[in-house]
Amino acid sequence: MNYPVGDFLIRIKNAYMAGKKEVVAPSSKNILAISKILEEEGYIKKTKENKEERKIIVELSYSGRIPALSDVKLVSKPSVHEYFGKRKLMRATRAHGISVVTTNKGIMTSKKARSIGVGGELICHIS
């Protein structure tokens, strides 16, 4: 696995498409931060960290049979990193859903990064 963050996001997308109730992924600080953002934004129900096994268990959220998350677009990859300044970040993000950015202040949504006034590497768009 070259890109654990991308693998984690695609696991969540595939689990929603398959109608699963939870996803298990390897733990890291970045993955935990992204899962907390998804939890705050309502795309997943709950995140549990199992420190002994170094795994993260993500409980998925559905509205009836409709999944809370429908699409994940990875922007930055190990081979291509997309950086945006604080002014260009607004034009790079989408109107629907959220965009996740890693900045020098930590991993956050693009909306929060704009309010703080920082730019950074755009990881993904989630809708």
pLDDT in tens, 62-106: 999 999 999 999 999 999 999 999 888 877 676 688 999 999 999
Tell the burial category of 116 from Cβ atoms under 10 Å away from its Cβ (0-12, 13-18, 19+): exposed
Domain ranges of the chain: 4-67, 72-126
CA distances for 35 relative to 3, 52, 57, 62, 117, angstroms: 16, 19, 10, 16, 23
Q: Do the beta carbons of residue 75 and residue 124 sit within 8 Å?
A: yes
Identify the CATH assignment for 4-67 out of 3.40.1400.10, 3.40.640.10, 3.30.1370.30, 2.60.40.10: 3.30.1370.30
CA distances for 57 relative to 22, 35, 53, 100, 122, angstroms: 7, 10, 11, 20, 24
Question: pLDDT for 4-39, tens place per residue?
Answer: 999 999 999 999 999 999 999 999 999 999 999 999
Q: What is the CATH number of domain 72-126?
A: 3.30.1490.10
